[in-house]
Amino acid sequence: MNGAQNGLVGDNSYGVDIPETQVPDEKSLQEEKKIAKYSKSKEFSRIKEYFQTRIDFYQKYLPDGREIGASSPTPEDWRVANLLIKEFKALTDSYESINEIVEEHRKRTNG
């Protein structure tokens, strides 16, 4: 039988696979360490603060600058605003996950 099983909608593995963290090879681990170091810098902190101001903006205003309650937004307006919010969050979350990967590797290898 193809398709969803056990009452789950979507991919056959949606919601039932145990999450796994891939351990990078040594060359990519060095890159990950550089990214992790950058994500702790003042520069990245400023970028992260800027992203948060943009997220706050799109939670209150539509992409064209109209206030959400001031007019009737179209479904496309909502999609664009939500897409932008998700992208800003995804970028900052990706840096945080790199920190976790590097820290986990450091714990496993004691250094």
Total domains in the fold of the chain = 1
6 lies in some domain: no
- CA dihedral angle for residue 66, residue 89, residue 52, residue 100, rounded to 10 degrees: 180
For residue 36, is it within any domain? Answer: yes
pTM above 0.85, yes or no: no
Cβ neighbours for 63, distance < 8 A, ≥ 6 positions apart: 77, 80, 81, 84
Q: What is the pLDDT of residues 4-50, one digit of tens each?
A: 555 545 555 555 667 666 655 677 778 888 888 888 889 999 999 99
Q: Which domain holds residue 58?
A: 26-109
Residue 13 belongs to some domain of the structure:
no
Is 93 a domain residue? yes
pLDDT (tens digit per residue) in 65-101: 888 877 788 888 889 999 999 999 999 999 888 888 8
Residue 15 lies in a domain: no
